[in-house]
Amino acid sequence: MTRTPSSSALRARWQALAPREQTLVLAAASVVGLALLWWVALAPALGTLRAAPARHAELDAQLQHMQSLRAEAQQLQSAPRSARGDAAGALRSALTQRLGNTAQLHLAGDRATVTLKGAPADALGQWLAQARSNARTVPVEARLTRSTAAAPTGAAANAAPVLGTPAAAMPRWDGTLVLALPPSQP
Protein backbone atom coordinates (compact mmCIF):
# COMPACT_ATOMS: atom_id res chain seq x y z
CA MET A 1 0.00 0.00 0.00
CA THR A 2 1.42 3.36 -0.96
CA ARG A 3 1.19 6.24 1.41
CA THR A 4 0.21 9.64 0.20
CA PRO A 5 2.05 12.66 1.55
CA SER A 6 -1.04 13.76 3.52
CA SER A 7 -1.45 10.39 5.26
CA SER A 8 2.21 10.28 6.29
CA ALA A 9 1.90 13.88 7.55
CA LEU A 10 -1.16 12.85 9.60
CA ARG A 11 0.68 9.82 10.99
CA ALA A 12 3.62 12.00 11.96
CA ARG A 13 1.28 14.52 13.60
CA TRP A 14 -0.43 11.67 15.51
CA GLN A 15 2.92 10.35 16.76
CA ALA A 16 3.83 13.84 17.94
CA LEU A 17 0.76 14.03 20.19
CA ALA A 18 1.08 13.10 23.82
CA PRO A 19 -0.74 9.91 24.92
CA ARG A 20 -3.30 12.01 26.81
CA GLU A 21 -4.01 14.10 23.66
CA GLN A 22 -4.31 10.92 21.59
CA THR A 23 -6.89 9.60 24.08
CA LEU A 24 -8.86 12.85 23.91
CA VAL A 25 -8.82 12.87 20.09
CA LEU A 26 -10.00 9.23 20.04
CA ALA A 27 -12.76 10.04 22.55
CA ALA A 28 -13.90 13.06 20.48
CA ALA A 29 -13.88 10.97 17.28
CA SER A 30 -15.88 8.27 19.07
CA VAL A 31 -18.48 10.80 20.24
CA VAL A 32 -18.79 12.22 16.71
CA GLY A 33 -19.04 8.68 15.27
CA LEU A 34 -21.74 7.69 17.78
CA ALA A 35 -23.69 10.90 17.09
CA LEU A 36 -23.57 10.21 13.34
CA LEU A 37 -24.66 6.62 13.92
CA TRP A 38 -27.59 7.86 16.03
CA TRP A 39 -28.74 10.55 13.55
CA VAL A 40 -28.31 8.43 10.43
CA ALA A 41 -29.26 4.92 11.52
CA LEU A 42 -30.97 4.67 14.89
CA ALA A 43 -33.15 7.78 15.33
CA PRO A 44 -35.09 7.38 12.04
CA ALA A 45 -35.64 3.69 12.73
CA LEU A 46 -36.89 4.37 16.27
CA GLY A 47 -39.19 7.13 14.98
CA THR A 48 -40.67 4.73 12.45
CA LEU A 49 -41.07 2.09 15.14
CA ARG A 50 -42.88 4.56 17.45
CA ALA A 51 -45.22 5.73 14.68
CA ALA A 52 -45.97 2.21 13.42
CA PRO A 53 -48.99 1.40 15.67
CA ALA A 54 -50.82 4.62 14.76
CA ARG A 55 -50.01 4.21 11.07
CA HIS A 56 -51.12 0.57 11.22
CA ALA A 57 -54.46 1.56 12.77
CA GLU A 58 -54.93 4.26 10.13
CA LEU A 59 -54.20 1.81 7.32
CA ASP A 60 -56.56 -0.77 8.87
CA ALA A 61 -59.34 1.84 8.90
CA GLN A 62 -58.64 2.69 5.25
CA LEU A 63 -58.68 -1.02 4.37
CA GLN A 64 -62.04 -1.53 6.09
CA HIS A 65 -63.47 1.49 4.28
CA MET A 66 -62.19 0.22 0.93
CA GLN A 67 -63.60 -3.25 1.63
CA SER A 68 -67.00 -1.77 2.46
CA LEU A 69 -66.90 0.26 -0.77
CA ARG A 70 -65.95 -2.88 -2.71
CA ALA A 71 -68.82 -4.82 -1.12
CA GLU A 72 -71.23 -2.00 -1.99
CA ALA A 73 -69.94 -1.89 -5.57
CA GLN A 74 -70.32 -5.66 -5.91
CA GLN A 75 -73.83 -5.44 -4.52
CA LEU A 76 -74.73 -2.72 -7.01
CA GLN A 77 -73.17 -4.69 -9.88
CA SER A 78 -75.05 -7.86 -8.97
CA ALA A 79 -78.38 -6.05 -8.68
CA PRO A 80 -80.56 -6.58 -11.73
CA ARG A 81 -80.47 -3.72 -14.19
CA SER A 82 -83.61 -1.71 -14.33
CA ALA A 83 -85.11 0.01 -17.31
CA ARG A 84 -84.92 3.79 -17.46
CA GLY A 85 -88.66 4.00 -16.74
CA ASP A 86 -88.21 1.84 -13.64
CA ALA A 87 -85.44 4.16 -12.42
CA ALA A 88 -87.64 7.21 -12.97
CA GLY A 89 -90.51 5.53 -11.13
CA ALA A 90 -88.22 4.57 -8.24
CA LEU A 91 -86.99 8.17 -8.08
CA ARG A 92 -90.52 9.56 -8.06
CA SER A 93 -91.76 7.21 -5.35
CA ALA A 94 -88.69 7.77 -3.16
CA LEU A 95 -88.97 11.53 -3.69
CA THR A 96 -92.61 11.55 -2.64
CA GLN A 97 -91.93 9.26 0.31
CA ARG A 98 -88.87 11.08 1.69
CA LEU A 99 -89.22 14.72 0.66
CA GLY A 100 -92.94 15.15 0.01
CA ASN A 101 -93.88 18.52 -1.43
CA THR A 102 -90.45 20.08 -0.75
CA ALA A 103 -89.07 18.61 -4.00
CA GLN A 104 -90.08 18.39 -7.65
CA LEU A 105 -88.65 15.99 -10.25
CA HIS A 106 -88.10 16.85 -13.92
CA LEU A 107 -86.82 14.23 -16.38
CA ALA A 108 -84.96 15.20 -19.56
CA GLY A 109 -83.12 12.52 -21.53
CA ASP A 110 -80.62 10.71 -19.34
CA ARG A 111 -80.80 13.35 -16.58
CA ALA A 112 -83.18 13.93 -13.71
CA THR A 113 -83.34 17.38 -12.14
CA VAL A 114 -84.70 17.73 -8.63
CA THR A 115 -85.72 21.20 -7.43
CA LEU A 116 -85.70 21.59 -3.65
CA LYS A 117 -87.50 24.19 -1.56
CA GLY A 118 -86.97 23.89 2.18
CA ALA A 119 -86.07 20.18 2.07
CA PRO A 120 -84.91 18.78 5.43
CA ALA A 121 -81.25 17.75 5.39
CA ASP A 122 -81.82 14.32 6.95
CA ALA A 123 -84.58 13.43 4.50
CA LEU A 124 -82.45 14.65 1.58
CA GLY A 125 -79.55 12.45 2.67
CA GLN A 126 -81.82 9.41 3.02
CA TRP A 127 -83.39 10.10 -0.38
CA LEU A 128 -79.98 10.39 -2.06
CA ALA A 129 -78.90 7.05 -0.59
CA GLN A 130 -82.17 5.47 -1.71
CA ALA A 131 -81.87 7.00 -5.21
CA ARG A 132 -78.35 5.66 -5.52
CA SER A 133 -79.16 2.12 -4.42
CA ASN A 134 -82.70 1.62 -5.77
CA ALA A 135 -82.78 3.75 -8.91
CA ARG A 136 -79.01 3.45 -9.57
CA THR A 137 -78.67 7.16 -10.22
CA VAL A 138 -75.50 9.18 -9.70
CA PRO A 139 -75.46 12.85 -8.66
CA VAL A 140 -73.58 14.88 -11.26
CA GLU A 141 -74.34 18.41 -10.11
CA ALA A 142 -75.61 20.00 -6.92
CA ARG A 143 -76.40 23.65 -6.30
CA LEU A 144 -77.71 23.89 -2.77
CA THR A 145 -78.07 26.77 -0.36
CA ARG A 146 -79.25 26.70 3.20
CA SER A 147 -82.92 27.55 3.29
CA THR A 148 -84.35 30.37 5.34
CA ALA A 149 -87.77 28.68 5.35
CA ALA A 150 -89.09 27.78 8.76
CA ALA A 151 -89.75 24.17 9.66
CA PRO A 152 -93.34 23.08 9.09
CA THR A 153 -95.76 22.86 11.98
CA GLY A 154 -98.41 20.29 12.73
CA ALA A 155 -98.08 16.68 11.54
CA ALA A 156 -94.86 17.29 9.61
CA ALA A 157 -93.21 18.69 12.73
CA ASN A 158 -93.85 15.40 14.54
CA ALA A 159 -91.54 13.51 12.19
CA ALA A 160 -88.79 11.55 13.91
CA PRO A 161 -85.77 13.78 14.53
CA VAL A 162 -82.32 12.57 13.56
CA LEU A 163 -79.75 12.13 16.33
CA GLY A 164 -81.94 13.91 18.84
CA THR A 165 -82.08 17.15 16.84
CA PRO A 166 -85.51 18.80 17.03
CA ALA A 167 -87.23 19.17 13.67
CA ALA A 168 -87.21 22.97 13.99
CA ALA A 169 -83.40 23.02 14.34
CA MET A 170 -82.76 20.65 11.41
CA PRO A 171 -81.09 22.46 8.48
CA ARG A 172 -83.14 22.78 5.32
CA TRP A 173 -81.97 23.15 1.71
CA ASP A 174 -83.05 25.04 -1.39
CA GLY A 175 -81.57 24.46 -4.84
CA THR A 176 -81.23 21.86 -7.57
CA LEU A 177 -79.70 18.42 -7.92
CA VAL A 178 -78.95 16.86 -11.29
CA LEU A 179 -78.78 13.07 -11.36
CA ALA A 180 -77.59 10.81 -14.17
CA LEU A 181 -80.04 8.02 -14.85
CA PRO A 182 -78.67 4.52 -15.42
CA PRO A 183 -77.97 3.54 -19.04
CA SER A 184 -80.88 1.86 -20.79
CA GLN A 185 -80.83 -1.89 -21.16
CA PRO A 186 -79.42 -3.27 -24.43
Residue 117 phi/psi, 5° resolution? Answer: -140, 100
pLDDT, one tens digit per residue, over 144-164 is 999 886 665 544 444 444 455
Residue 186, pLDDT > 70, answer no
- Report, as an integer, the average pLDDT of 172-177: 92
Cβ–Cβ contacts within 10 Å for residue 114, how many? Answer: 24
182 alpha carbon, distance to own chain's centre: 25
What is the model's pTM? Answer: 0.50
Where in the chain are the domains? Answer: 1-78, 84-157+164-180
Least confident of 73-87, 101-115, 147-161, 164-178: 147-161
DSSP reduced 3-state for 60: helix
Pick from 140, 101, 92, 144: nearest CA to 121: 144
Angle, helices 84-99 vs 121-134, to 10°: value is 160
Q: What is the pLDDT of residue 58?
A: 96
87: Cβ contacts below 8 Å, ≥ 6 apart: 135, 136, 137, 181, 182
CATH 3.30.70 assigned to domain 84-157+164-180? The reply is yes
Q: What is the mean pLDDT of residues 62-84?
A: 82
Q: Which residue pairs, CB below 8 angstroms and at least 24 apart, start in 83-86?
A: 83/184, 83/185, 84/110, 84/181, 84/182, 84/184, 86/135
- Bridge partner list, 105: 114
